[in-house]
Amino acid sequence: MENKPTEISSSKMFGGYNKRYKHYSPTLGCSMNFYIYFPNSTSQSHKKFPVLYWLSGLSCTDENFISKSGAQRVASTEGIALISPDTSPRGLNVEGEADSWDFGVGAGFYLNATQEKWKNWKMYDYIVKELPKLLSENFSQLDTSRASIFGHSMGGHGALTIYLKNLDKYKSVSAFAPVVNPVNCPWGQKAFTNYLGNNKAEWEEYDATCLISKFNNVRATILIDQGEDDKFLHDQLLPHKFEEACRAVNVPLLVRMHSGYDHSYYFIATFIDDHIRHHAQGLNL
């Protein structure tokens, strides 16, 4: 099968282009789609664009962020390419993969599953290893050595855990309403039990609140925005747990609580410009 990405759509926006690609992923064993937003080339004094990976939340595809966030305006001005992958393998027809919105298809949790039934759910390796290599080999206008990462909800969990375990690969991280302590919330417990089995030590390898005690050589401030009217705040997201863990090891963290905002892309679109600028600073633009 063809590993090389094939362009399947292109739309101009703020002087740059949203381009969607399809490729076969050896890591996941299926075809995958992803978006790249290429900024207006005149906005960039460097020869290549640094990359900012966005990891989406439960039930999302590669399309949600590109169509709803409005991130392209400032990304084009700052000269940052946005990379928006999908949230899980698709089309594998594993029994039960689409039975619920918070597990299986659209809910890869950015981990490498160890249970045989879900062996293709290796979104951690896809995001950290396969996708950067694919981008580097096929898009000469991208500088994948200059990368940052952010995300929303499940994707915020993915961004934080991937960043902490790969501080040499990413310059900065931020998140909207992230699942920061999945070992202690229903979404995480359901996903981890099925993907990883009952070994709680394995669960902690994908929990930002647990990881921060081990991977705390963080130089760039971690930015988190959280809506106070988010219905998932108190039982699923648990930002205070991550705040306490960061404080214990002196990791620079800025958590901004926003009155009246919920868990939606309306919330994300409101504060997305701050996040793009946060990463522009981290990428030294």
pLDDT per residue as tens digits for the range 170-228: 999 999 999 999 999 999 999 999 999 999 999 999 999 999 999 989 989 999 999 99
Active-site residue flag, 174: no
Closest CA to 107 of 216, 207, 187: 187
44 pLDDT band (50/70/90 cuts)? low
> pTM for the complete prediction?
0.97
Catalytic one of 153, 172, 174, 279: 153
96 pLDDT band (50/70/90 cuts)? very high
Catalytic one of 23, 157, 263, 275: 263
41 pLDDT band (50/70/90 cuts)? confident
If 0-12 CB within 10 Å is exposed, 13-18 middle and 19+ buried, where does residue 228 land? exposed
- Per residue in 105-121, pLDDT (tens digit) is 999 999 999 999 999 99
Active-site residue flag, 229: no
Give the burial string for 10-32 (b: 16+ CB within 10 Å, else e).
eeebbebbbbbbebebebbebeb
Yes or no: say if 144 and 132 are a contact pair by the CB < 8 Å rule.
yes
47 pLDDT band (50/70/90 cuts)? confident
Active-site residue flag, 274: no
- Per residue in 120-167, pLDDT (tens digit) is 999 999 999 999 999 999 999 999 999 999 999 999 999 999 999 999
Q: In the structure encoding, which two tokens stand for residue 9, read together?
A: 């759509």
Catalytic one of 62, 207, 225, 230: 230
User: Which residue has tokens 């939606």?
Assistant: 264
User: Which residue has tokens 């229903």?
Assistant: 186
Share the mean pLDDT of the chain: 96
Q: What is the mean pLDDT of residues 23-50?
A: 89
- Stated as kind and residue range, the H or E segment containing 240 is helix 239-248
Q: Give the 3-state secondary structure of residue 190.
A: helix
